[in-house]
Structure 1
Amino acid sequence: MIKLLVIADDFTGALDTGVQFKAKQTLIQIASEKCIESLKISDHNLQVLIVDAETRHMTAQDAYQTVYQIVQTAVEAGVPCIYKKTDSGLRGNIGSELTAALNASGNKQLHFIPAFPLINRITVNGIHYIDGKPVAQSVFGKDPFEPVQSSKVKEIIYSQSPVHTHLMGSTVPDVLPQGILVYDSAKDEDLQQIAQTLKLRGELNLLAGCAGFASVLPDLLDLDRIEPQFPPIPQKLLVICGSINPITLRQLDEAQRAGAPRIQLTPEQKLDDRWLTSPDGLQITAEWMAQLKDAPLANHFA
């Protein structure tokens, strides 16, 4: 029986949330938005369904409609807890997606806990910080595709939605206002305290946050533990990376220092869609394959 539906806005978000549940030996399944019928799966061991809605780069209106339909389907299927997974750097259609989840659920409140203290992404007084910097001044504020333009969570939501949004601090009040409730978290203990209070108050049916708050959900929802079944791991691994995020680039640098061969495409190779099938492209890719043939790990920076 599905006890929890997680709605992520991209595949990476679906995976980094899924890891939180696999670490607690909870059976999960990751599906695409087009496979939302997975809510009707008859596997009684399946407790967590994670849907990759692919809304990160949609328009705000399209993202709203997509999330609304998924949440509506989940409510009709009787899923007791819905978690709208957000980016830990607050990129994407935060306001429209949270509003869609709230409206489709029929709830009066959505509890939004955006922090991930374990990786130094915290929320204090409604301002989101990345490694000590307000998020708009961090690497996420310099993102070439979707820069975060405000560090105030409330402003980020209001940029896409008129729904009432309230800053709650790090505690759950006795009287809950209607709308989106944003919570501070500067350490893991804050996440735990908020989680336990919400459980005692019976407020677990509509939540939002990144993988940080998702990490407390397995214990919070009393999910059953099942002995994990590990998939076969290939002897060789090729990593293809198209990100220019400084964090990702540091990861590639570290892999290269550890001995992984690294191939970097030139601007011409990236931008000319005829290059790959040209004589030059065929020759160079053949040389790459020969280079990688005996490598246990390969990084390919696209």
Structure 2
Amino acid sequence: MVAVPTKGPIVVIADDLTGAAELAGRAVACGITSQVVLLSRGCEVPVLQSASDVVCVDTDSRGLSPEDAMVQVRIAATFALELSPRFIFKKVDSVLRGPVLFEIRELMQVFGFPQCLLVPCNPTLGRTIVGGRYLINGKPISFTQFRHDPEYPRLNDKVTELMECPPGLRLALTSRMKWPIADVIIGEAQDIDDVLFWARKVRKEVLPAGGSDFFSACLVMQWGVICGSRVWSGWVLGACGG
């Protein structure tokens, strides 16, 4: 049973400050208010200073172990529940660095989501997933600078092998052709039309997770936000760190 109410703000739970700020910027570009809340490691539930349409929580958890990251996410989820959120969105690194699936599973358990739709790539930045492979401007990610990432080197371009998967979590990657039976479904996307397609597939029992392009698409397709032409003609791009 999904525990997300139908009032209150849209709450974004991000694993770093750059991602939280990026999505807050996307919201502002669409003409709605937003704020970023910092959840330092080991701290208690933060206090919201003022009301806004979108609240982006930085859990500062990308570099943590899966166990510690899940603790941070659970604290953030507790904070989110107190806000009676209209919607929940899990922001992940666009190239899937960090304990991504562990954090997603924690949110699914807290809120009771039976499924998650994960669309991490950002076609507006040349980051796409095609045929199960992660590409940067058409080049396999393992042949780009991400191969030399100090914490999460991308030595493979196969998407399902870029993340550690918790035991028992069913993971499936798919194109537009089908909706597989799985706990976490990764949607391929090579352009904005693909991202918009996946945004239309989000239902109340599905946790949306991914990058800034998917968040912007969900704002419009699921959450009734009307974005002006400045956003849609190439999309307004915020910070590009992940």
What TM-score, normalized to structure 2?
0.79
* Stretches of structure 2 lacking an aligned partner (at least 5 in a row): 1-6, 228-239
Indicate yes or no: 2:93 matched with 1:83.
no
More helix by percentage = 1
- Structure 2 counterparts to residues 93-242 of structure 1, below 5 A: 93-157=99-163, 159-162=164-167, 163-170=169-176, 173=179, 177-198=181-202, 202-203=203-204, 206-220=207-221, 221-223=223-225
User: Are the equivalent residues in 1 in contact too, given 2:37–2:46 (CA < 8 A)?
Assistant: no
Indicate yes or no: 2:61 matched with 1:55.
yes
Amino acid aligned to 2:87? C
Aligned-partner Cα distance in 1 for 2:225–2:47: 19
Distance 1:216 1:140, change over 3 A: same
Q: How far does residue 156 in structure 1 lie from its aligned partner after superposition? A: 2.8
* Stretches of structure 1 lacking an aligned partner (at least 5 in a row): 226-246, 249-302
The percentage of aligned residue pairs carrying the same residue is: 26
Q: How far does residue 172 in structure 1 lie from its aligned partner after superposition? A: 5.9
User: Are the equivalent residues in 2 in contact too, given 1:117–1:187 (CA < 8 A)?
Assistant: yes
Aligned-partner Cα distance in 2 for 1:203–1:172: 19
Indicate yes or no: 2:55 matched with 1:23.
no
Number of residue-to-residue matches in the alignment? 218
User: Are the equivalent residues in 2 in contact too, given 1:167–1:182 (CA < 8 A)?
Assistant: yes
User: Are the equivalent residues in 2 in contact too, given 1:60–1:160 (CA < 8 A)?
Assistant: no
Query: Residues 72-98 of structure 1: CA distance to partner in whole angstroms, max 9, x if unpaired?
Result: 442464323211111112222212212
**CA RMSD across the alignment:** 2.5
Q: Which has the higher contact order (CA 8 A, sep 6+)?
A: 2
Runs of 4+ in 1 over 6 A off after TM superposition: none
Q: How far does residue 63 in structure 1 lie from its aligned partner after superposition? A: 0.8
Aligned-partner Cα distance in 2 for 1:187–1:14: 23
Higher Cα Rg, which structure:
1
SS at match of 2:162: helix
